[in-house]
Amino acid sequence: MGKTKRVGIDDDDTSFLPMKKKMCANRCRFHDDLISRLPDDILVDILSFLSLKEAARTSLLSSRWMNLWKQTQSLNFDVPSTLKKIKKGSHELNWERNKYVKWVKDVLGSYKSTTLKQFIIRFPLGISAKDSITRWLEFAFCRQVQRLELNLGKPPNFYCFPEELFTPREPKLQHPRMLFDFTSLKELSFKSIIVSDRAIELFLHNCPLLEQLIVHYSQKISKLEVCGPSLMLKHLEIVHCTGLKSLKVSAPRLTTLNVTVLKVVLLENVPMLVDLTGSCDDDSISLKHLISTLSCCISQLESLNLNLVDRHVRYVQETDELRNFPKMPKLKKLFIEYDDALGDESLIRLAALARASPHLEEFVFENTWQHPRKVTPYKNAVIRFRHQHLKVFKFRGYYGHASDTDFVQYILENCVVLKKIIIRPCGVLICVKGGKLKDEQIARENAKFGLEPLLPRRVKLVIV
């Protein structure tokens, strides 16, 4: 007897839709569908937690569900599976781009709601999509969008935010009306978008409810002011904007700030700022300058994330500055990313920053230096301080060199309530006898056999 062929229905196959509708209708006829009895607004809220494709598939359930997904308040055009395929080197990028643009166009053409809570575009589109992107923005602003994210992948940038969207209607009037109503916007994110200082400041001026502003990879930003006593802004990110020369921030409700380079930052009125991320390298900012930059908020910080690059350490000067580093009494989490080519001198800096944080509970250290480092012991110069609160220490990029071991020993000797050390070995490839050996394997063995004998019983070693 021949084998019976199983006929399957693919999720994306539309040729079987009439049959699927009939099947679903029969199920609904013979079963008490309690969910479908709920009011439309509740069902629409439920659908907003699904992806767009999942929400659209509910239209097959019955006539009751046919148009509900078109009223969802969340339009999230994120396709992680497709993005993952493209990152692996897909040769069909242009085809995927055209497919994405058509998908967005079809959904927006079917959309029924007059308001919109969330509108998200995440895809590495090309210049051919320029006009479509502008229409999408107009669509979102027409519906008083509350959260807007436009992410076009990595540079090079091709899309420039159209400032004409701010053009007032009937500009000759004493109080002209804006082309769009931005008063509902609470979160705005532009990644790989060319956006000017003026456009950002216009958003700040016309969006009284704006709480989150994120700008990544925009080369047009130069001299930006985020200032105003009535600003509702709580979260600000200005990252990888290489043309940025100055950033003035005066925002009384700001709690989180993320900037790539701290040397251009001027902080004034930030009484609520508790979470700071930034970079300070030898070409941009000294420790003395860092202290000056953070002077108005350093005593209130609860989380500090610093990227330190120090290839030309002036040993005596740096040590003096570190000994006078102001206390951070409320700091609970310290994250240090360190690119250090000189070796054990980094221990002096790290120990001093830890000492300045007496109530630290979690310390994360990431070593980004990619080669074996020169070992120059300065143990006698390291500032000693007993930590009464530090419970977790994470070491990322562990090699197992003398400087790495010294730093772990410092943590063990000075952190009396430490419970866990988490080690993530480095993953750099090095040549050994004409072949390649994973440096990670060596580091993993060094961590296991070199650190385990040093640990007291109360401290757990985790190697990930």
**The tokens 């206390």 sit on which residue?**
327
Give CA–CA dist 242/135, Å, rounded.
Answer: 28
As given in the structure block, the two tokens for residue 306 are: 């610093």
The pLDDT value given to residue 443: 79
Q: 420 and 460 in contact (C-beta within 8 Å)?
A: yes
Question: All domains of the chain, ordered by start, with CATH?
Answer: 20-71 (no CATH), 73-273 (no CATH), 274-464 (3.80.10)
* Dihedral-angle region of residue 403 (phi above 0 means left; psi in -120 to 50 means alpha; beta otherwise): alpha
DSSP string, 102-147: HHHHHHHHH---S--SEEEEES---GGGHHHHHHHHHHHHHTT-SE
Side-chain-side CA neighbours of 261 within 13 Å: the count stands at 16
Residues 226-259 pLDDT 10s: 999 999 999 999 999 989 999 999 999 999 999 9
Three-class SS state of 173: coil
Phi, psi dihedral angles at 169 (to 5 degrees) = -75, 140
> Which H or E element spans position 56?
helix 52-57
Nearest 5°: the CA angle 397, 401, 402 is 130
Q: Which residues of the chain have pLDDT under 70?
A: 1-36, 38, 40, 44, 58-64, 66-68, 87-91, 172-177, 281-287, 309-323, 339-347, 369-383, 427-439
The pLDDT value given to residue 8: 35
Is the C-alpha dihedral spanning 306, 312, 317, 319 positive or negative? positive
Give the C-alpha distances (Å, rounded to integers) separating 318 from 287, 315, 404. Answer: 7, 5, 20
Task: Report H helices in 301-393.
Answer: 315-323, 345-355
As given in the structure block, the two tokens for residue 378 are: 């300065």
Q: Read off the pTM.
A: 0.80
DSSP string, 65-103: GTTGGGG-SEEEEE-HHHHHHHHTT-S-HHHHHHHHHHH
Residues with Cβ within 8 Å of residue 160, at least 6 apart in sequence? 193, 194, 195, 220
Three-class SS state of 447: helix
